[in-house]
Structure 1
């Protein structure tokens, strides 16, 4: 297993003290020498992938906590603060800031908090979307209690491919006195679903395809039956703005819909037997490509973990409109980042085709990481967000060897396409050369999609 280049000494030291262990005791549990652990804690050695896996499994450790600098905007956020004219005479350069952040992340966070709330103009480091995204990533997009509850409900209703809509609709009718009604598009302009409590109806647009209809019905069932659990999570996130709380609440509602349609154990078992073949999973559970992709980012149940995927959605203009890290440890790309050599930018030339690509990237990290990505375009529902978009699943290449989609693709790091580096044609990182022209020779043989 290849080593990562992650310096995480302070986080590991705090974990050891929290557990009440000596260096010798923790080293014994992790299967390393006390002297090696001492070097890791002092950031004189990186935390290897093997040791990180041991830490996660032995201490049920959340690897997202290693990204301690996210809350202050990472290295760039700290550099912006240090650029204040009040510090101008100190000559602090980016390298010094990076060393400070690596050696003492909590002290760096304390400085950032003091700076943001103290004298001088307050710097706004994050927006509502960033706050909502961090709330999701704090849980690695796995809400264990709600997931178990959704799985129990799916078992109770005996949901299967042939009867999903009927079973969920019957649940709404019997328990919540709500009827599902499909309405013409002209009756619901600009809407795909509407809850009419006066008429006691969940109204769905005729423009919604079958998988999307089932998703909306499951979403409504989840919201009604697990309202208390949803509100507990939202309250616990301590989000300052109502918009951020609403966004987090909407994400959890979508999560519950996926958990009902793709019950955890049944879905994980299908993933493992099918080699995570997305077309097979779509057919087996009667869901869409993007619904399967989103569910794959949630498989973080302790003792029953799936593979750690991230998911991104990219529009035709090349904007990343959403990003879910899941348990992958992937960091959200810098605002405005454009990677024309990445296969999603060519996917629009081959709509509905599954394309794969091995790449390296690591925005804001000490070293680029090696990823295997799977991309396919999906179309809108004809009412809202109707534009075609590219859905991307990514996983570290070291986990991708047994994936059905990785067959015939080189997972050698030397063969990966480096992203965020200058274009080979013009030497510019923000190259405007169309993606198909840049990567046509490297495109893999496409897989047919359902």
Structure 2
């Protein structure tokens, strides 16, 4: 904070995002900051700088997290650069100054361009996200995957359940039975082929497959309890989002899962355990009776004002490099926003060591360094002869914040990271022998007399 006090910052998008998240008008926020509404309007439009003194007031009055200054629309200049490097824009010759001016003058316009570009696949050869998936992911990222009201309600419910005994699953099942006349029943796989959970209202049963492990059973019971007891709180978040019908259903499902995880891992207790253990994921699994992926998800949600955890991002990939989950949270990491993966990132080698933690310190082209851990997970057990799904869950934080992590012990997180990119299409490192194709928007060069480390030679800065 101290190094920002004497600086001037253009961060209108961050101030506007904070005000809207708090539900304040410009007049209401201006009064609390002791400035005029017109001055606040100019700040939000990036026609006036955010001074260090005003930044301090924002922090004191509203718990503003200065890390949000790095959470630029569209991924900032670097995010726009990657997209505008596409060959379709090569003749426009848009330089970094123009990109900066665009972000300052019309941040929402830049964000709209980025979403539209990403929704059609960006021309990068990666499979585009469906409209519903992209729409849902965008609204989750606008909330930075932290829903304070749901956390508070889940924490209160978890405290009630603790009074009934130490076994959370048993307490959830008892609450469903006593308060809602629903019995939880574990069913043989032959009775529920292809299903892990089913609500049978005729029999008044929540039926769970025997394929589910104990952590998944607890989550399933908490998820269904959320459908009943957190319905109003969840609808109050979903309705104003103004999503398409498929995206609305996906967002609602995300929030139900969020509430269920918050019941299993109540915010204050979970954060204390994180700080006490150095964010030791495997130890946290045992302490909260949760799976690796459940813990990893929860780590991306620790955004409570005045009690924030480390800003983790998360991605989940399969062996083909396809991403089925991405959460940037408070981290604003390009690794969570990229459509591609770099084969030099050790995280993608997690499949070679199933169930083992893979640690890595990496450095991107923009100079940012990230400490990541990855491990394979199997969401459910398959019957003999069936398909056994396997994914790698990767979480990470900025290297400058990783020194408190148990997983970082023995690693010099202040040192140089392994150079990686965001997939070959978005990487302009010239001499990578692992390169599988040229970057977008770069003209290929050919020489009959020379052959470099890579088969792809192109114009570079």
TM-score w.r.t. length of structure 1 = 0.75
**Secondary structure of residue in 1 paired with 2:304:** coil
> Which aligned pairs between 1:95-134 and structure 2 lie closer than 5 A?
95=95, 97-106=98-107, 108-109=109-110, 127-134=131-138
Cα displacement (A) at 1:13: 7.7
**Secondary structure of residue in 1 paired with 2:341:** coil
1:400 aligns with 2:402: yes
1:376 aligns with 2:375: yes
Q: Which residue of 2 aligns with 1:446?
A: none
Give distance in 2, aligned partners of 1:376 and 1:2: 37
Unaligned runs of 5+ in 1: 27-37, 117-123, 432-450
Give distance in 2, aligned partners of 1:197 and 1:12: 46
**Secondary structure of residue in 1 paired with 2:359:** strand
Unaligned runs of 5+ in 2: 20-25, 37-42, 118-127, 439-461
**Secondary structure of residue in 1 paired with 2:195:** coil
> Which aligned pairs between 1:54-133 and structure 2 lie closer than 5 A?
59-61=62-64, 63=68, 66-69=71-74, 75=80, 79=84, 92-95=92-95, 97-106=98-107, 108-109=109-110, 127-133=131-137
**Is the 1:69–1:75 Cα contact (8 Å) retained in structure 2?**
yes
Residues 412/103 of structure 1: CA separation in 2 closer, same or farther (3 Å cut): same
1:290 aligns with 2:298: no
Cα displacement (A) at 1:2: 12
Q: Which residue of 2 aligns with 1:177?
A: 181
Q: Which residue of 1 aligns with 2:311?
A: 308
Residues 78/354 of structure 1: CA separation in 2 closer, same or farther (3 Å cut): closer
Q: Which residue of 1 aligns with 2:22?
A: none
Once the two structures are superposed, residues 104-130 of structure 1 have per-residue CA deviations (whole angstroms, 9 ceiling, x without a partner) of: 1248459969x99xxxxxxx9982211
Cα displacement (A) at 1:289: 0.8
Once the two structures are superposed, residues 197-251 of structure 1 have per-residue CA deviations (whole angstroms, 9 ceiling, x without a partner) of: 1111111111111111111011111121010111111102111x11100110110
1:278 aligns with 2:281: yes
- State the Cα RMSD in Å: 4.3
Aligned equivalent of 2:169, options 162, 165, 168: 165
**Secondary structure of residue in 2 paired with 1:214:** helix
Cα displacement (A) at 1:417: 3.4
Give distance in 1, aligned partners of 2:256 and 2:387: 18
Give distance in 2, aligned partners of 1:429 and 1:56: 46
Residues 13/257 of structure 1: CA separation in 2 closer, same or farther (3 Å cut): closer
How many residues align? The count is: 398
Aligned equivalent of 1:426, options 433, 437, 440: 433
**Secondary structure of residue in 2 paired with 1:230:** helix
**Secondary structure of residue in 1 paired with 2:302:** coil
> Which aligned pairs between 1:29-44 and structure 2 lie closer than 5 A?
none
**Is the 2:75–2:334 Cα contact (8 Å) retained in structure 1?**
no
**Secondary structure of residue in 2 paired with 1:372:** strand
Once the two structures are superposed, residues 294-315 of structure 1 have per-residue CA deviations (whole angstroms, 9 ceiling, x without a partner) of: 1111111111111111111011
1:152 aligns with 2:156: yes
Once the two structures are superposed, residues 257-282 of structure 1 have per-residue CA deviations (whole angstroms, 9 ceiling, x without a partner) of: 11001111111111111111111111
Cα displacement (A) at 1:404: 0.6
Residues 372/185 of structure 1: CA separation in 2 closer, same or farther (3 Å cut): same
Aligned equivalent of 1:210, options 204, 207, 214: 214
**Is the 2:346–2:359 Cα contact (8 Å) retained in structure 1?**
yes
Q: Which residue of 2 aligns with 1:255?
A: 258
Once the two structures are superposed, residues 368-426 of structure 1 have per-residue CA deviations (whole angstroms, 9 ceiling, x without a partner) of: 42111011111131259941111111111111111111000121242343333448652
